[in-house]
């Protein structure tokens, strides 16, 4: 947020994308994750141990005392573990490579914040291309964005450029934020990214 407010104080307009993966920790494909670990130089016993950590897991659904049959888990990183969140971060670590160099990216676990200083329509078109590239990256990596939690926020002094950003899976909601209430709006938007859909799964 410090970077955004600094640019705002310098008189710039900034478009910010607040993006959230849908069930992020449950959708990481194991085979693709292992391939990425190899690319990062993880080999030998550490790689074999990680494969063992992910493989041969099963899950069932428990609802009102009734249990489903066990089924194999072929995607996702185990939650409530030390290694699980780290593996997820390694899986999305290459995400910034799909963006234009003038677009800034911040990764916060399963939340992503992108922003770009807007000098004119050219910058907004470039940010739109970044969103399209990001969605292609997510599709290739087996990830899906949660449309209900993805928003575009426009931060500026009064009077600014208007642009409707779109993606295949969602049309981003544009929120105009002026210098008067920027800090409060950013804080409220980022803190409202809730988690959990009420269902529970037992994994072993």
pLDDT in tens, 103-139: 999 887 778 889 899 888 899 899 999 988 988 888 8
Q: Which has more pLDDT, 160 or 146?
A: 146
Cα(21)–Cα(25) distance, rounded to whole angstroms? 9
Cα angle value 184/187/189 (rounded, 5°): 105
Question: Is the predicted pLDDT of residue 88 greater than 50, yes or no?
Answer: yes
Strands 58-63 and 201-203: antiparallel
**Stated pTM of the model:** 0.69
Give the Å distances, CA to CA, from 132 to 69, 100, 137, 198, 202: 39, 12, 9, 31, 35
Q: List the 13-20 sheet strands across, edge first.
A: 104-108, 111-118, 13-20, 151-156, 173-178
Residue 199 has a pLDDT of 39
**Token digits for 14?**
């900034």
Secondary structure of the chain: what % helix, strand, coil (to 5)? 40, 25, 35
What integer best gives the mean pLDDT of the chain? 77
Pick from 18, 56, 31: nearest CA to 142: 31
Question: Is the predicted pLDDT of residue 203 greater than 60, yes or no?
Answer: no
Contact between 20 and 145 (Cβ < 8 Å): yes
Cα(186)–Cα(13) distance, rounded to whole angstroms? 14
The mean per-residue pLDDT over the stretch 142-155 comes to 81
Q: How confident is the model at residue 97 (pLDDT cuts 50, 70, 90)?
A: very high
The mean per-residue pLDDT over the stretch 27-45 comes to 91
DSSP 112: E
Q: How confident is the model at residue 25 (pLDDT cuts 50, 70, 90)?
A: confident
Reduced to 3 states (helix: H, G, I; strand: E, B; else coil), residue 132 is: helix
Q: Which has the minimum average pLDDT: 85-89, 99-103, 128-132, 167-171?
A: 167-171
Residue 153 has a pLDDT of 83
Question: Is the predicted pLDDT of residue 23 greater than 90, yes or no?
Answer: no
């Amino acid at each position: 947020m410090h970077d955004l407010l600094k640019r705002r104080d310098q008189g710039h307009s900034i478009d910010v994308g607040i993006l959230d993966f849908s069930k992020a920790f449950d959708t990481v494909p194991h085979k693709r994750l292992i391939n990425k670990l190899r690319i990062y130089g993880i080999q030998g016993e550490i790689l074999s141990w990680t494969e063992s950590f992910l493989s041969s897991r099963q899950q069932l659904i428990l609802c009102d005392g009734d249990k489903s049959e066990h089924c194999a888990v072929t995607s996702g990183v185990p939650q409530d573990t030390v290694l699980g969140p780290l593996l997820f971060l390694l899986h999305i670590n290459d995400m910034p490579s799909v963006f234009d160099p003038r677009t800034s990216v911040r990764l916060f676990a399963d939340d992503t914040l992108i922003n770009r200083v807007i000098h004119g329509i050219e910058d907004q078109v470039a940010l739109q291309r970044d969103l399209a590239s990001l969605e292609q990256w997510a599709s290739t990596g087996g990830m899906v964005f949660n449309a209900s939690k993805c928003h575009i926020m426009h931060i500026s002094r009064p009077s600014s450029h208007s642009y409707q950003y779109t993606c295949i899976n969602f049309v981003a909601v544009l929120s105009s934020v002026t210098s008067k209430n920027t800090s409060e709006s950013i804080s409220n938007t980022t803190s409202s990214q809730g988690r959990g859909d009420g269902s529970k799964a037992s994994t072993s």
